[in-house]
Chain A
Amino acid sequence: MNQALWQQLKQHGLVKGEEPTEDMSSTPWYVRTMLAIAGWFGAMFLLGAVFSVIGLLIESALTAGIVGGVACLVAVLIYRLPDHNDFLAQFAFAVSLAGQSLLIFSILSELGAFDGRDPLIDHLRILSMVTLCLQALLFFIVPNYLHRIWSSLLFVASLMFLMNYYGLYPFTQSLLFAAGIALWLQEFNWAKLGSKLAAPAYALIFVSLILLCVDTYLWAQSIFWLEVFGITTPGDIRAEHLSSILMSSVLLGLVLTLLMRAEASVFSGASIAAILLAVLVAYIGLFIQGITVGTVLVILGFAHSNRVLKGLGLVVLLVFVCQFYYLLDLTLLVKSALLIVSGLLLLAIRYLMGYIWPAGVPENA
């Protein structure tokens, strides 16, 4: 398959010479997931051992910090070795995670986060700031995809907390999601960046999805941040509606971008139909935000042939239709009417599409 594509590209004059040797660092996502899970467990045991030793030797935050810093440095050096194998990479991952934990523990101790004087939220604010800086540094100096995913996830999670803390609460999720989509749309323009782009792009999507789940599933009615951290919504319910509108505008923006990319006239029949359909889904999304999010991911996944995003979008769609059942703003009767009318409308559009845009596309499963 690789060779066939290479030959095709060669015939079109897009590449020259022999096919490059396969990049062994690029492994399927499930092998990476396996490595990540095992790496985390390995790091936990390693961290347990290190903490035991430190606890035995000296109860000093400074010692923990020095050991943590040295561990991170060792991990970076291993990753930067010209010829490192899987074992070394996995070992470096575990050492790095253990080192980061020690370093963060040390910094928080020095800042008095464990004194019990300040409220929890202030400790978390410091933790987020420290994590943000540490992960930004590690992101650039560790040339490994798995580690970059880890750094990006922690960076975006910290950023999310700080955004909520500093008053952006109802908009954080939409803003992170919009940033993730914007990065994905640049995937082909900035292909040279490789994992430096893919890792934060995935992280932005995952963290925004987690935030959406926390707001809707973990604590219904968006009271998680209020109950746990005392973070309130500026502007109350109107801000949440504005956030939903922002999310809907991401869908419309995506559709318009894809239409422009296909060089389709905005006033052509297909373009108008696509925009109207997006408006309909965006309207439904005002009630169930997950529907907009899921639809955006499915469309983007299809447009970029990215099966991970497409699969994620389908799961989000399914999960959030079920979640709609528990939404307290509307009665079940109103919700059922909304769903049945929307569903039948979508099916009617599909039926009409057969006449307006007939094509020899087989309908077979």
Chain B
Amino acid sequence: MRKTNRQLVLEWTEQSSIAQDQIQSALDVGGVLPKPSDWRGFLDKLLLYVGVLFTASGVVFFFAYNWDELGRFAKFALVQGAILVSLAVFWRQGLDKLSGKVSLMLAAIFVGVLLAVIGQTYQTGADPYELFAVWCALILPWAILARFDVLWMFWLLLLNLSVTLYYQVFGGLFGVLFAGEQMLWLLFAVNTLALLVWEYVVSRGAQRRKIRWMTRLLATVSGGLVSTLAIFNLLGAEFISLNLVGIAAWLVWMACAYYWYRHSVLDVYVLALGVLSVVAIVSVLLGRFLLDGQFHAVIALVIMSIVIIGLSASGAFWLRGVAKGESS
């Protein structure tokens, strides 16, 4: 992990390598403080994002109010008009401009509003998961067309919501008992697939590698889910006849993440996530063995504490080495 110029200037000032009265000049040389042109670009984006966020939220709130005075045709005309205006702005601005992409995102949000108005007007009796699933399907072509990370993230959020709501309604194929675990498996599959697709896409375009937040968010969700599944397995009632699929999936995930984010595309964040996951799994495994009455509770707790501290400290030592290797 490379340190930013800001971190370096602050660190060197703290170490007295830079005199306190020279820090402003050092910040200027390091390009830490934004220039007027940077401020203009920042304001431009802030106004666009916040303006669109407010407008989209306002439209959602308006239709959620379900105003009786407004006839059904007026409602449809309004929401379809909003979609058309957004698409017209997108058509005018084009895909290369941020405003064009954001307009398409706005249209995608309004599609959901349209579906809600249809449900509200005709009382279709559809379950909420159906609304999100249809919404996902309808805006998929736009997401593919826009190649806009925020829209993809929104799309994936809808898909996750749809899966979660489905399991809330039907409780899974094997009854309520396994519904939670089944849902986690499906969510894990969806988000891991998204991570794989994202990694494939970024491997084909160097510019997009800079968008680290997407990789990290997907890796956090996917890694978090597989760790939870492994913990579920470890805490299963019958330890001997343990269903090892969750643990196997966790091992495969960890091995792949280690190979990819250590040797192929270095990302210390994902490696740190892996270390935390190892600490959690080992702690649960130890707890399962040590706290079953064979050992005195005090001994068990001390062992667990020392193992957690040891593992996390070793992990941090390793991560620092990796980060240092990257920055040198």
Which partner residue on chain A sits nearest B65 by CB separation? A332
Task: Tell me if B239 counts as interface (CB < 8 A to partner A).
Answer: no
* Other-chain residue from B5, B297, B305, B316 in contact with A94 (beta carbon distance below 8 A): B305
Task: Tell me if B1 counts as interface (CB < 8 A to partner A).
Answer: yes
A42-B286 Cα distance, complex, nearest whole Å: 13
Task: Tell me if B22 counts as interface (CB < 8 A to partner A).
Answer: yes
Task: Tell me if B298 counts as interface (CB < 8 A to partner A).
Answer: yes
* Other-chain residue from A26, A192, A361 in contact with B13 (beta carbon distance below 8 A): A192
Task: Tell me if B120 counts as interface (CB < 8 A to partner A).
Answer: no
With A305-B32, A332-B65, A333-B65 in contact, is A41–B283 under 8 Å at CB?
A: yes
Question: In residues 277-328 of chain B, which contact A (Cβ within 8 Å)?
Answer: 279, 283, 297-298, 301-302, 304-306, 308-317, 319-320, 323-324, 327
Residues of A within 8 A of B24 (CB): 188
A191 with B301: CB separation less than 8 A: no
A346 with B51: CB separation less than 8 A: yes
Task: Tell me if B116 counts as interface (CB < 8 A to partner A).
Answer: no
B18 with A9: CB separation less than 8 A: yes
Residues of A within 8 A of B200 (CB): none
A173-B20 Cα distance, complex, nearest whole Å: 32
Residues of B within 8 A of A303 (CB): 33-34
With A31-B320, A344-B51 in contact, is A38–B40 under 8 Å at CB?
A: no
A1 with B308: CB separation less than 8 A: no
Per the CB 8 Å criterion, the residue count for chain B at the interface is 94
Residues of B within 8 A of A304 (CB): 6, 32
A324 with B65: CB separation less than 8 A: no
* Other-chain residue from B37, B58, B317 in contact with A361 (beta carbon distance below 8 A): B37
Complex interface bits, B104-142 against A, C-beta within 8 A gives 1, otherwise 0:
000000000000000000000000000000000000000
With A338-B58, A339-B58 in contact, is A34–B34 under 8 Å at CB?
A: no
Residues of B within 8 A of A305 (CB): 4-6, 32-34
With A192-B14, A350-B51 in contact, is A298–B96 under 8 Å at CB?
A: no
A363 with B327: CB separation less than 8 A: no
A343 with B52: CB separation less than 8 A: yes
Residues of B within 8 A of A347 (CB): 47-48, 51-52, 55
Residues of B within 8 A of A38 (CB): 276, 279, 308-309, 311-312, 315
Task: Tell me if A114 counts as interface (CB < 8 A to partner B).
Answer: no
Where chain A touches its partner, the secondary structure class is helix
Complex interface bits, B1-23 against A, C-beta within 8 A gives 1, otherwise 0:
11111111111111111111011
A22 with B301: CB separation less than 8 A: no
Which partner residue on chain A sits nearest B296 by CB separation? A52
A311-B216 Cα distance, complex, nearest whole Å: 14
With A5-B5, A324-B57, A325-B61 in contact, is A46–B305 under 8 Å at CB?
A: yes
A317 with B3: CB separation less than 8 A: no
Question: In residues 231-273 of chain A, which contact B (Cβ within 8 Å)?
Answer: 262, 270
Closest Cβ of chain B to A45, distance in Å, is 4
Which partner residue on chain A sits nearest B315 by CB separation? A34
Closest Cβ of chain A to B288, distance in Å, is 14
A341-B58 Cα distance, complex, nearest whole Å: 8
With A42-B305, A359-B37 in contact, is A343–B30 under 8 Å at CB?
A: no
Where chain B touches its partner, the secondary structure class is helix
Task: Tell me if A194 counts as interface (CB < 8 A to partner B).
Answer: yes
Which partner residue on chain A sits nearest B302 by CB separation? A49
Task: Tell me if B196 counts as interface (CB < 8 A to partner A).
Answer: no
A31 with B57: CB separation less than 8 A: no
Closest Cβ of chain B to A272, distance in Å, is 14
Complex interface bits, B142-161 against A, C-beta within 8 A gives 1, otherwise 0:
00000010000000000000
With A20-B12, A34-B275, A45-B305 in contact, is A27–B58 under 8 Å at CB?
A: no
A31 with B302: CB separation less than 8 A: no
Complex interface bits, B165-195 against A, C-beta within 8 A gives 1, otherwise 0:
0000000000000000000000000000000
Residues of A within 8 A of B304 (CB): 45
B98 with A28: CB separation less than 8 A: no
Which partner residue on chain A sits nearest B35 by CB separation? A262
From A81-89, A115-123, A134-142, the one touching the partner chain is A81-89
Complex interface bits, A41-53 against B, C-beta within 8 A gives 1, otherwise 0:
1110110110011
Task: Tell me if A228 counts as interface (CB < 8 A to partner B).
Answer: no
A26 with B3: CB separation less than 8 A: yes
Question: In residues 341-361 of chain A, which contact B (Cβ within 8 Å)?
Answer: 341-347, 349-350, 353, 357, 359-361
22 CB < 8 A contacts A-B: A9-B29, A27-B319, A28-B272, A34-B312, A35-B312, A38-B279, A38-B311, A41-B279, A43-B305, A46-B302, A49-B301, A52-B297, A52-B298, A86-B313, A86-B314, A91-B309, A188-B27, A304-B32, A337-B58, A339-B61, A343-B55, A365-B101
18 new A-B contacts at CB < 8 Å, known A30-B273, A34-B276, A344-B51: A2-B327, A22-B327, A31-B319, A34-B275, A38-B312, A52-B297, A87-B310, A87-B313, A91-B306, A94-B305, A191-B14, A192-B13, A194-B14, A262-B36, A305-B34, A333-B65, A343-B57, A344-B55
Which 3 pairs, one residue from A and one from B, show the smallest C-beta to C-beta distance? Answer: A343-B54, A339-B58, A38-B312
A contact residues vs B (CB 8 Å cutoff): 1-2, 5, 8-9, 12, 14-15, 20, 22-24, 26-28, 30-31, 33-35, 37-39, 41-43, 45-46, 48-49, 52-53, 56, 85-91, 94, 187-189, 191-194, 262, 270, 277, 284, 295, 298, 302-307, 311, 317-318, 321-322, 324-325, 331-333, 335-347, 349-350, 353, 357, 359-361, 363-365
B contact residues vs A (CB 8 Å cutoff): 1-20, 22-27, 29-30, 32-34, 36-37, 40-44, 46-48, 50-62, 64-65, 67, 96-99, 101, 148, 213, 268-269, 272-273, 275-276, 279, 283, 297-298, 301-302, 304-306, 308-317, 319-320, 323-324, 327
